[in-house]
Amino acid sequence: MSLSLYIDYVILPILAISLLLVFIRLFKGPTIVDRVIALDLLITIGVSIIAAYSISTQQSTFMDVAMILALIAFLSTIAFSFYLEKKDQDD
């Protein structure tokens, strides 16, 4: 079994199932923190799918897109934690 077939038949279906479960948490999350964490995980799974596709097709251009998306997700998580810290100080 080649790496491309392994990615297509094992890795991508697992990532698709996890994407579905994260969407459920995103819509069902009782608090805003749960929804933000689910959104961050959604972006992380998206980066994983882009990386798996890049490895499968042997096109390194997609890895640049995945890196930029991961950087945006990291910065948004830092901004949200900064917001939560400031909100707690105001209360």
The answer as to whether 59 is a domain residue is: yes
Q: At a CB cut-off of 8 Å and minimum separation 6, what does 3 contact? A: 55, 56
Tell me the CB-side half-sphere exposure of residue 91, using CA atoms within 13 A: 6
Domain that holds residue 54: 3-86
Q: pLDDT tens digits, residue range 71-88?
A: 999 999 999 989 988 887
The answer as to whether 43 is a domain residue is: yes
Q: pLDDT tens digits, residue range 1-39?
A: 788 899 999 999 999 999 999 999 999 989 988 999 999
Which two structure tokens, joined as six digits, stand for 47?
């980066």
The CA–CA distances, whole Å, from 32 to 2, 6, 35, 38, 62 equal 42, 37, 5, 10, 31
pTM reported for the whole predicted model: 0.87
C-alpha 81/C-alpha 76 separation (Å) is: 9
User: Considering its fold, how many domains does the chain have in total?
Assistant: 1
The answer as to whether 91 is a domain residue is: no
The answer as to whether 47 is a domain residue is: yes
